[in-house]
Structure 1
Amino acid sequence: MTFRRKKLLLATLAAMLLFVTLTELIARAGHTEPATITISAASSQSPSPSRRETGTVRTAAQTLMNQSTRTITVNGLRRIYLLLRPVQSVGRLPLVILLHGRGLTPAAMVSLSGLAPLVAEGRAILAVPTGLGLSWNAGGDCCGTAGRSRPDDPAFVHNVVAAVLHGEQIDTNRIYLVGYSNGGKLALRMACEDPAAFAGIATYGAVPLVPCAQGGAVSVLLAAGTADQVLPYQGTRLTRPPLMSVAAAVQLWHDRDGCPARPTTTGRVGPAEIRTWRECRNHTAVATVIYHDLPHAWPAQPRVAAAASAATVIWDFFTGLPDVPAPPDPPAATVARATHGPG
């Protein structure tokens, strides 16, 4: 065999090998995964779009929980929320309402928040409402689509609570509200307007946008990053509406709840500096969590250690609060349609 024929044969074999490899890669790319979703406590990315709606969610610990999409009608408007509950649970569980940031889908907020493991471990039930245009009417023309159209988002959140109470085994003394950014601003608006509705409220990257007159006491945790460019830590008058400083927001709740002058406990976990005032009016508590040098992004692994994550800090705050009975007659939800996940 001549040198030229050997070279031609080798080139032909190499081309055949490349074709087989490319064919295998294309086949793998087209392979459809099962409907099971993997969510880790350290995850900061949302599931793929095709898996956001309904399915069974599996955590890193391989503990199953059910996810379903629910639809309710509030003031003639069709609204949607996600419900995550354990496959197996014993007794009545706390309910956490999670309000996403502007532009985030509920599924993305679940993944980002790090709260899903609470459900998988049978410690809570999680409901995640969907804002109009992925935004919330937090007052003061904020924010986005909801800020312009001004839906009654507090009524929507209350109706989600009522719908979940109707269908799930919930400890009505432990109903909590958590909000991020635009969702946090709505949570603080609701804390001002209806403080008796929740046993505790926690936010990251948010301050109140509307006047908060003296009223009922409610336990509040406000967390923020000192390097936040969206919610400047020192506040700003250059936005509409203007944003108060984080320190002013903490002082507002400190005064409203009638807390002692000095914090009951102080501590630091990684970048998170935590101060908590307990024995406030009606046994409420106020806490501030300052994340030094952190931006507007929700604090989660791997950016921070698990012990300093917003999910851990918030849940520790909630579990240290006294139980607060829910209002005797929560708003009745008009359930238009419910699509249930497996189980």
Structure 2
Amino acid sequence: MNYSLATSAFALLLCSCQSPMRSGEQWQHGTYKRKTDIKFNGLSRSYLLHIPETMPPNGWPLVVVLHGAFSTAKEMERQSGFSALADQEGFSVAYPNGIGLFGQLQHWNAGHCCGKAAKDNVDDVGFISAVIDNAVQACPIDKNRIYLIGYSNGGMMAYRYAAEQTGRLAAAAVFAAAIDSTVEGEDDAWTPPQPTRPLPIMILHGKADDIVPLQGGASPAKANGRHYASVAAAKRFWNSNNGTTAEVRVEFLEDWGHMWPGPWFTNREDAPEAMRGYDAAKVIWNFFRPYRLL
């Protein structure tokens, strides 16, 4: 079957499609805003779905990318570079939006953190599952190749989702995140649950991160009383779960702080020499590539 972008009478705009691909139909290349059945404050929660130009015979792998606190799906798409990479490598990308106010200050309920989402116990695990389901219903996704990556508060959310919904993912990755945290004077009411199976996971962290410190503890940049678990603690958690069955890869980024480590930032003149041109999207995709659900 020819899945090129040749004009076809059967071509559908992705943003209006609600059914799986049928024989003869072709998809438009681009990024589309889609809504789910999940609501917050009376409004349907949304995500962006990027479709590349070509499709493998078994459908597109899907990479779900979670933005950091007070960011948006659109900003994460622009800064992460995943959509451009998806066009080169032939996978689709979903960028969910956290809860916020008028499309701003968006964040996630990672269980232990943060803000209104955690305080109100927003079901972000259910929302991310709804995003995956919506994407699978909308277009041909290879359900054996669904991956998750999160940044900062989105990375904390990725840890939580990977632990609670392990069976939906082929692999996961996090950058600049802690798997758990506590606040002085408050009870530690949440810890990550035991995953249901081994899961390949990649952990990236800047050695100079002053928001979520690599060694854990209080943030040097934020006097909010929160103490973060260390990267070592996250590694122990996943090693304990995975044993020798699935890889836990940790990569420390020299002289790098809390910004997303992609060309949007690493190509700047003030980027550390050791990180010049580093592209986390490529590094993470190369980690994801060989893994699929059995």
What band does the TM-score fall into relative to the shorter chain?
0.7 to 0.9
Superposition pairs of residues 159-308 of structure 1, within 5 angstroms: 159-209=130-180, 210-215=190-195, 216-237=197-218, 241-258=226-243, 280-281=244-245, 284-301=246-263, 302=267, 303=271, 304-306=275-277, 308=278
Residue aligned with 2:214, SS: coil
Residue aligned with 1:175, SS: strand
Counterpart amino acid of residue 123 in structure 2: D
RMSD: 2.0
Q: Which residue of 1 aligns with 2:75?
A: 108
Q: After TM superposition, give the deviation of residue 168 of structure 1 in Å.
A: 1.0
Counterpart amino acid of residue 111 in structure 2: G
Q: Which residue of 2 aligns with 1:70?
A: 34
2:47 to 81, 104, 112: 81
Does the aligned pair in 2 maintain the 1:65–1:119 contact within 8 Å?
A: no
Q: Which residue of 2 aligns with 1:50?
A: none
Q: Which residue of 2 aligns with 1:25?
A: none
Query: How many residues matched?
Result: 237
Q: Which residue of 2 aligns with 1:324?
A: 293
Residue aligned with 1:154, SS: helix
Q: After TM superposition, give the deviation of residue 85 of structure 1 in Å.
A: 0.3
Q: Deviations over 1:137-195 (max 9, x none)?
A: 0112x212312322100000001101111111111111000100000000101112121
Counterpart amino acid of residue 172 in structure 2: I
Find the aligned partners of 2:70 and 2:193 in 1 and give their Cα distance. Answer: 30
Does the aligned pair in 2 maintain the 1:65–1:86 contact within 8 Å?
A: yes
Q: After TM superposition, give the deviation of residue 214 of structure 1 in Å.
A: 3.8
Does the aligned pair in 2 maintain the 1:89–1:122 contact within 8 Å?
A: no
Q: Which residue of 1 aligns with 2:187?
A: none
Residue aligned with 1:231, SS: coil
Q: Which has the higher contact order (CA 8 A, sep 6+)?
A: 1
Find the aligned partners of 1:83 and 1:173 in 2 and give their Cα distance. Answer: 18
Counterpart amino acid of residue 125 in structure 1: S
Q: After TM superposition, give the deviation of residue 289 of structure 1 in Å.
A: 1.0
Counterpart amino acid of residue 255 in structure 2: D
TM-score scaled by length of structure 2: 0.75
Given the superposition, is the C-alpha separation of residues 89 and 151 from structure 1 closer, same or farther in structure 2, using an over 3 Å criterion? same
Find the aligned partners of 1:199 and 1:291 in 2 and give their Cα distance. Answer: 25
Structure showing greater radius of gyration is 1
Superposition pairs of residues 13-28 of structure 1, within 5 angstroms: none
Q: After TM superposition, give the deviation of residue 123 of structure 1 in Å.
A: 1.2
Tell me, yes or no, if structure 1 residue 118 matches structure 2 residue 85: yes
Q: Which residue of 2 aligns with 1:312?
A: 282
Gaps (5+ residues) in structure 2?
1-14, 16-27, 101-105, 181-189
Find the aligned partners of 2:228 and 2:131 in 1 and give their Cα distance. Answer: 29
Q: After TM superposition, give the deviation of residue 205 of structure 1 in Å.
A: 0.4
Residue aligned with 2:228, SS: coil
Q: Deviations over 1:267-303 (max 9, x none)?
A: xxxxxxxxxxxxx32xx21110100211000111214
Given the superposition, is the C-alpha separation of residues 108 and 75 from structure 1 closer, same or farther in structure 2, using an over 3 Å criterion? closer
Does the aligned pair in 2 maintain the 1:88–1:122 contact within 8 Å?
A: no
Find the aligned partners of 1:292 and 1:122 in 2 and give their Cα distance. Answer: 27
State which drifts further: 216-225 or 180-189: 216-225
Counterpart amino acid of residue 117 in structure 1: A
Counterpart amino acid of residue 293 in structure 2: V
Residue aligned with 2:145, SS: strand
Q: Deviations over 1:64-102 (max 9, x none)?
A: 931111111226762111111024434311001110001
Counterpart amino acid of residue 285 in structure 2: W
Superposition pairs of residues 89-104 of structure 1, within 5 angstroms: 89-91=55-57, 92-104=59-71
